[in-house]
Amino acid sequence: MKNRRMRLMAIFAAGVLSVTSMGGIVTAHAEETLSVPAEEAGAGAVQMDGKDAQAAEDGSVAASEGLIAGSFKPSEIAQPAQDTYEYPFLGMKLGISKDLKEQMEKKNISMFTDERWNDNADAVTYATASWCTLTDEQKDAEVDKMGTGYDDWLKSLSRVGVIGMYDEESQKDLDTITGCTEHKELGTSSDGKYKYYLSTNKDADADLLKDVEGIEVTLTEMTPFQNLSAFDQPQDTSDSTEATEGTNVGKFETTGVDGKTYTQDIFSKYDLTMVNIFTTWCSPCVNEIPDLEKLYQEMKDKGVGVVGVTRDTVGSGGKQDEEAVKKAQVIQKKTKASYPFLIPDSGMMNGRLDGISAFPETFFVDKNGNIVGETYSGSHSLDEWKEIVEKELENVTEGK
């Protein structure tokens, strides 16, 4: 995750939080909030306005801005200076000249990426790599992780040039998207749905402009999107997000946020276990936990278990995030969830927890640890989950 910008987009209609994670910095736009007392949650944990979290009429509990607290310097997440940049999802490879690389290393010009996704979160509408000059004020600026601070800061930068891929609708708005007025078409994507452009600012420094105009752009076959950032690298999903029957979570030993030890035997108690992967900063994730608890209480006697996996309690380097653990403890207490919230094990459940970019995500496991059925993105109502679980339970038990 280091030195890369990852836009984790999902469908609001399906209850998935839209977030941006850049070099380990996560920003989010959440509409609902839940407050938690600082003295109860501890320093840096979920904040409350001196009153307990209240469940809405539908049983949901919202997450607070405190789940994504603090600010960061967006200038520090500029892309590193490299000779080449390869973006398989965009079908594009960029070759950087020695002069431009040196200017990037000196911070005379910085490179930032940006992308927007369609409403179904299955394709980008546009994706851009921008080379910008920054004032001292912009270099030192800090923005909140919560809200539109990063996007506003990015729009304020002075563009030298932008190389991007745009769908048909976005092509009508190149001036606004790029902050430039000169646009040169570079080609069409392999699927025919996008066009590539080099956009430039004629008022930019002449030498820097020449360096950006000299970027070698090679168009290649596009790799099908995997619900990752358009600027990320493709991942092998054979044992993770595709979750086909026969894939197993493997043997593991980990702890829950309650401090108890858990192994793969947690699945042996039930014919079918729902594994709900969530993060402490995702309000739709937190919203549905009371419904998942109701589901568990209603269906455990039918052979259905529920396990939560708090994905952000382990960082990209495999180190446990104690602050996230404290937040998860507060969430478990406030939502009255009796099922376990697991901290990911070192093997990430045989790799199943790797590569997930939209939360919550839910999959199902049989009593032998085999991943069965379908994977479900986004939160759902209690009635929707009941219908899904009944279907998956019937499929897993009909062969018994």
One DSSP character per residue, 107-173 reads TSSEEEEEEEE-TTSSSEEEEEEEEEE--HHHHH--EESBSSHHHHHHHHSEEEEEEEEE-TTGGGG
3-state secondary structure of 321: coil
Eight-state DSSP code of residue 370: B
Domain residue spans in the chain? 71-219, 235-397
Alpha helices in 42-183 (DSSP H): 98-105, 136-140, 149-156, 174-178
Tens of pLDDT, residue by residue, the chain (400 residues): 322 333 333 323 233 333 344 444 444 443 333 333 333 333 222 222 323 333 333 333 333 333 345 678 888 888 999 999 999 999 999 999 999 999 999 999 999 999 998 877 778 999 999 999 999 999 999 988 767 888 889 889 999 999 999 999 999 999 999 999 999 999 999 889 999 999 999 999 999 999 999 999 999 999 888 767 888 887 654 443 333 334 889 888 999 999 999 999 999 999 999 999 999 988 889 999 999 999 999 999 999 999 999 998 987 667 888 989 999 999 999 999 999 999 999 888 988 888 777 789 999 999 999 999 999 988 899 999 999 999 999 988 775 5
Joined tokens for residue 339:
């099922």
What DSSP element (H or E) covers 307? strand 304-310
CATH number of 235-397: 3.40.30.10
Residue 322: partners with Cβ closer than 8 Å, 6 or more residues away: none
**CA-to-CA distance for 340 and 359, rounded, in angstroms?**
18
What global pTM score does this model have? 0.53
**CA-to-CA distance for 61 and 85, rounded, in angstroms?**
42
Joined tokens for residue 44:
């840096």
**CA-to-CA distance for 323 and 360, rounded, in angstroms?**
20
Joined tokens for residue 272:
């079918």
Alpha helices in 232-301 (DSSP H): 283-299
